Amino acid sequence: MEFSTQTSIDLAQINTEALAVGVFKNQVLSPAAEQIDQASQGAIRSVLESEFKGDAKTSLVLRQLPGVAAKRVVIIGLGEQKKYNAKAHAAAEATFATYAKSASIKEVTSTLASIDTPDSTITERSRASAQALGYANYKYDATLSTKDDAPSQIEQAAIWSAPTEAAAIETGLAQGKAIADGVNFTRLLADLPPNICTPTFLAQEAKKMGEQFPSLKVEVLERKQIEALKMGSFLSVAKGSDEPPVFIVIKHTPTTSSDEAPLVLVGKGLTFDSGGISLKPAASMDEMKYDMGGAASVFGTMRAVAELNLDREIIGIIASCENMPSGRANKPGDVVTSMAGKTIEVLNTDAEGRLVLCDALTYAERFNPAAVINIATLTGACIVALGDINSGLFSNNDALAEQIKEASQQTNDGVWQLPITDEYQAKLKSNFADIANIGSPGAGSITAACFLARFTEQYPWAHLDVAGTAWASGSNKGATGRPVPLLVQYLINQTA
C-alpha cells in the first residue's frame, strides 16, 4: 500500500473514491465534516437529524454529493466528544478501513487524524491510520483451494492535514506501514497450519527475510550446534518430535555505528504443542499451532525494524520445536540440565515453553544486551487472570517495565504488570533438582515468569505472556499480530 499526505485546503475539491470525515454524538461535526457540509449545502447535517447519531464504530456513506468531488463521503461516528481519545481515534480509523475493504475500494482519503485528542500527536494518529488500513488488507488464503485471482486491496491512502503537519504525518505513515506489514506477517505465520509452519519452515522464512532486507543477518543453528551449546532444556522438549529443532538468530545492524548495547527480543517458537506426555484435552488442541505466537511476533517486529532501518542494533532470537508425545519425549519426573547449568525437574511436560525459553535467555547473555524482552504464549493462567484484553507483563527492572507500559499506551496494545517476588519463587522448589518447571497450585502465570527470571539475572529483562492476546478463538479464529505494535513502538522510542 502507498501512503501520502493531502494538504489541499479545500476538501470539497479532493477527487477520491472515499473521503472519511468524523462526526461526534449530538450532531457535533469535525472541522473536515463542517467543510464538506458547507460545500454540499448541508448534506451531512440533514442526515444527522434522521439517520446518523454519531455513535462510535458506526458509519454512513453519502454518494455524489453536490459540490463535492469525492465519489463517496464516509461519515464516521466518533462517540462523545469529551471522551474522544487515541483509542477512540484508532477505532474510528478501523471503522473506515473495514468499510473501504468490504466495498472493494482501492484508493481512500482520511481526515480523521486531523482531529485532536488529548493523548496523542498527529504523528501517532497518522500511524494509527496506516495501521488500520494495513490490517484491513490481511486475508488468510494460503491453504484454500480457491483463491481470488485479483483480491480486493486498499492500494493507495492519503491523510489530509494542514501543510505544516505534512512532515510529522509522513513519519507516522512510515511507522504505521512498517507496523502493519509486521503484524500481517506475524498473523500469516501464526495462522498457517502446523504441518506447514514447522521449525524448518520458520528457519527458511528467516533466511528469506535476511535476503529481502540488507540490514538483517540471519543465522540458523541446527540440532548438533544446539547440542554443542549444551541447551539440554530446549532439546529435551524437541526430542519427542520427528521434526528437528532450530535456533534462529536475526541481527539488525544499522547503517551507522553505535556504542549502544543491543536490544534483544526472544520468542517462544512451539509450532505445535500437544502437551507431550501430559497430553492436552482434544477440544481446541488445533489452536496449539498458535503456540509459536511469540516467535511470530519476533519475526514481525524484526521485519518492521528492518523496514524502518532503526538506528540501533536489535537482535531477534527464536527457539523453535514441537512438543509431542513419543517414546523419546520428556516424562514427568525427568531431570534435565539447562545451558546455564541449572538442573530442572520436569513435573509437567505441558509446561514446556519455559524449558525452551530458559536456554534462549541464557544464550542472549553473549550479546551483553541493554535489555531483553521475551514474548511467549506461556500460560493458560494468564488468560484466567487477564482474558484477551491485556498481555501479562513481568520484569526484573522497573525502568524497562515503565518503557514497555509507555509503548503499550501509545499503541493501545495493552499490558498489565504482575509481581515476581521471592514468595512466588519459593513455589518452584524441587527435592530432586535446582528448580521445578511448575509451581505449587495457584498463580501459574507468575510462577512461570519466576522460572524465567532465574535465567535473566545478568541483564534488564521483561516477559510478555501473550497467551490470551496472540490469537482470537471462536468464529473469528485467527492470529491478532499482538504484541508487534507495542514492541515496534518500544524500539522506536529507544532510538528516538
Same structural domain for residues 186 and 156? no
Residue 255 in this model has a pLDDT that exceeds 90: no
Provide mean pLDDT across the span 377-397. 98
Say if CB 210 and CB 248 are below 8 A apart: no
Strand pairing class (314-323; 246-252): antiparallel
Domain boundary among 134, 161, 188: 161
* Phi and psi based region of residue 27 (left: phi greater than 0; alpha: psi -120 to 50; beta: remaining): left
Contacts of 185 (CB under 8 A, 6+ apart): 296, 299, 300, 303
Provide mean pLDDT across the span 17-43. 96
Q: What local confidence, expressed as pLDDT, does residue 49 receive?
A: 81
In-domain check, residue 83: yes
Domain boundary among 131, 161, 191: 161
Q: What local confidence, expressed as pLDDT, does residue 454 receive?
A: 98
Provide mean pLDDT across the span 204-223. 98
Residue 240 C-alpha cell reads as 519427542
Say if CB 88 and CB 130 are below 8 A apart: no
Say if CB 354 and CB 273 are below 8 A apart: no
Residue 237 in this model has a pLDDT that exceeds 80: yes
In-domain check, residue 82: yes
Provide mean pLDDT across the span 153-158. 96
**Domain CATH code at residue 31:** 3.40.220.10
In-domain check, residue 166: no
Same structural domain for residues 275 and 383? yes
As a whole number of angstroms, the distance between CA 483 and CA 267 comes to 11
Q: What local confidence, expressed as pLDDT, does residue 259 receive?
A: 85
Provide mean pLDDT across the span 263-284. 97
For 440, phi and psi rounded to 5 degrees?
-65, 160
Strand pairing class (343-346; 391-395): unpaired
* Phi and psi based region of residue 26 (left: phi greater than 0; alpha: psi -120 to 50; beta: remaining): left
Same structural domain for residues 230 and 285? yes
Residue 448 in this model has a pLDDT that exceeds 80: yes
Told to judge if 25 belongs to the known catalytic residues of this protein, a careful annotator would answer no
Say if CB 258 and CB 311 are below 8 A apart: yes
Domain boundary among 109, 133, 161: 161
As a whole number of angstroms, the distance between CA 104 and CA 178 comes to 23
In-domain check, residue 170: no
Contacts of 16 (CB under 8 A, 6+ apart): 69, 70, 71, 107, 108, 109, 158
Residue 150 in this model has a pLDDT that exceeds 80: no
Same structural domain for residues 234 and 345? yes
Provide mean pLDDT across the span 402-410. 97
Q: What local confidence, expressed as pLDDT, does residue 496 receive?
A: 80
As a whole number of angstroms, the distance between CA 469 and CA 12 comes to 41
Of 45-54, 131-140, 321-330, 402-411, the least confident:
45-54
For the segment 304-316, what is each residue's pLDDT rounded down to a tens digit?
A: 999 999 999 999 9
Provide mean pLDDT across the span 206-219. 98
Same structural domain for residues 249 and 140? no
Say if CB 314 and CB 371 are below 8 A apart: no
How does the average pLDDT of the chain come out, rounded? 96
For the segment 31-83, what is each residue's pLDDT rounded down to a tens digit?
A: 999 999 999 999 999 999 888 999 999 999 999 999 999 999 999 999 999 99
Residue 151 in this model has a pLDDT that exceeds 80: no
Told to judge if 147 belongs to the known catalytic residues of this protein, a careful annotator would answer no
* DSSP three-state, residue 127: helix
Catalytic residue from among 71, 239, 280, 342:
280
In-domain check, residue 169: no
Same structural domain for residues 282 and 373? yes
For the segment 86-111, what is each residue's pLDDT rounded down to a tens digit?
A: 999 999 999 999 999 999 999 999 99
In-domain check, residue 439: yes
Tell me how crowded residue 233 is: count the other CB atoms within 10 A of its CB.
29
> Total domain count for the chain?
2
Residue 289 in this model has a pLDDT that exceeds 80: yes
Same structural domain for residues 246 and 326? yes
In-domain check, residue 167: no
Same structural domain for residues 14 and 82? yes
Q: What local confidence, expressed as pLDDT, does residue 161 receive?
A: 86
Q: Name the band, by pLDDT with cuts 50, 70 and 90, for residue 8.
A: confident
Same structural domain for residues 129 and 197? no
Q: Name the band, by pLDDT with cuts 50, 70 and 90, for residue 256.
A: confident
As a whole number of angstroms, the distance between CA 296 and CA 470 comes to 10
Torsion of Cα atoms, 189 then 191 then 193 then 198, to 10°: 20
**Domain CATH code at residue 296:** 3.40.630.10
Same structural domain for residues 148 and 283? no
For the four alpha carbons of 231, 237, 243 and 249, in that order, the dihedral sign comes to negative
Catalytic residue from among 289, 354, 427, 482:
354
As a whole number of angstroms, the distance between CA 3 and CA 5 comes to 7
Rounded percentage of the chain residues whose pLDDT exceeds 90: 95
As a whole number of angstroms, the distance between CA 452 and CA 357 comes to 7
In-domain check, residue 63: yes
Of 146-160, 284-298, 339-353, the least confident:
146-160
Same structural domain for residues 142 and 211? no
As a whole number of angstroms, the distance between CA 131 and CA 257 comes to 30
Same structural domain for residues 132 and 8? yes
Q: What local confidence, expressed as pLDDT, does residue 417 receive?
A: 98
- Type of residue numbered 390: N
Chain centroid offset of residue 153 CA: 21
Residue 257 in this model has a pLDDT that exceeds 80: no
For the segment 309-344, what is each residue's pLDDT rounded down to a tens digit?
A: 999 999 999 999 999 999 999 999 999 999 999 999
* DSSP three-state, residue 325: coil
* Domain with 325 in it: 180-495
As a three-state string, the secondary structure of 416-440 is EECCCCHHHHHHHCCCCCCEECCCC
Say if CB 259 and CB 365 are below 8 A apart: no
* DSSP three-state, residue 291: helix
